[in-house]
Structure 1
Amino acid sequence: MSKRARIGARCAALTLLPLTVLMAAAPAHAGTRGLYNGFEESDIGKWDRLAGGDGRAGFEIGTGTALTGQGNGRLSATRGWAREGTWASFEGAYRYCTARVYVRPDQDLQFELRVWTPQGKKLISTAPWLTAGDYRLVQVDWTGEGDNKNFVEAVLGANGTPRAVRLDALTVVCADGSRTS
C-alpha cells in the first residue's frame, strides 16, 4: 500500500470513529421532562396554599427577597404549620424524578419537602435542618410509579417558636432512562 493510500485510510478511520462512538452511546436523557416554577406573578395561580394554627402561606413580589426574578414564596408559623404545593404532570411514564427548591430560612429550623401521588400516597420526603441565612438547595429524588402526576409541597411547622422561610425556583425533572441528579 502506498504512503498516500495509508494516510487516506487513516483519515477515513479517524473520520468514522466519532460517528461510531456517537452511534454506540445511549442518548442522554432522551425522554426528560421538566417543570419550573419561580413564584413569579404568572406562576402564583399554580400554587395551592394551606395553613393550620397561626401558620401563613403566601408570596412576596418585588420585595428584593427572591433568589431569581421578582417573586418568592413565604411560609411562617409560631404555633402551627403552613405549606405551598403545586402539581407536576408529564405525559408518559418516567422512571426517575427529582424535585428541587431553594429555601431561605429566617431562623435555624427544620423544613420539609414532600412528593405525593394523586391518590394521596407519599412517595418521598426530606426534612433537613437548615441554618438561617442565604438560600439553600433542598432536593428529593424518587422512582416514578407509572403515572407522572405528582404533588410537590414545601412544609414548615412550629411549636411555640417563630419560624419563617422564603422559597424560590422550584424545579421538577423526570427522565425515562437514568437518574436526573
Structure 2
Amino acid sequence: MKFIKATIADLPKINTIYGELVKKIESDGMNFWNEEYPFCFLEQDILEQSLYLLRDGEEIISCIKISPERSMSEGIEWGEMNKKIIYFYRFGVNVKYLNKGFGFKTIECAKKVAKEMGGECIRFLVIRENIPAINLYIKNGFTQVPGMYKEVIDEKYTFHEYGFELMI
C-alpha cells in the first residue's frame, strides 16, 4: 500500500468513491455530503497537491486533504494556539473498505505527512451526526475540544460541527 498525492488522472475514481460514500451517508439517514460537496473542491485539492490517497495498486482505499489552510471555526475553543497547525478535510474511505481498519491506517499515514509539513498539531471539524467518524478519531487519540461551529447552508440546512485536535 502507498499513501500518495492524488493526480488529475485519479479524479474520475475519486469522484466515484465519494459518490458511493454520499449514497451510504444518505442511506444511513445523514445528509452532510451531497451531489455538490465534496465534489466541488476535489479538483482544486488535487491541483494544490493537498489531496492524498491510500492506494493498493490501482485501487483507491481512501482520500484525505491535508493542508495548513485554516478552516472556519467560530465557536470552537481550540486548545493549542501557538503551534503550527495542519488541518484534515474531506476524509473518506471507499465503501468497499469500511470497517476493515483502513480509516485508522489512513489517519496514521496522514499524521506522518502532517509532521513532515512541520505540523505540531492536527485539527479538523466533524459534523455532529457523523458518529462513526467521531468514534474513529477518538480511537486515534484526537481530543474533542469545547464548542461547536455552526455553518448555515440555507434556510433548510445548518451544519453543527465539533472540533478535534491532536498534538503530533
TM-score range, shorter chain: under 0.3
TM-score normalised by length of structure 1: 0.26
Larger radius of gyration: 1
With a CA cutoff of 8 Å and minimum separation of 6, indicate the structure with the bigger relative contact order. 1
Q: Please identify which structure carries the higher strand content.
A: 1
TM-score normalised by length of structure 2: 0.27
Q: Please identify which structure carries the higher helix content.
A: 2
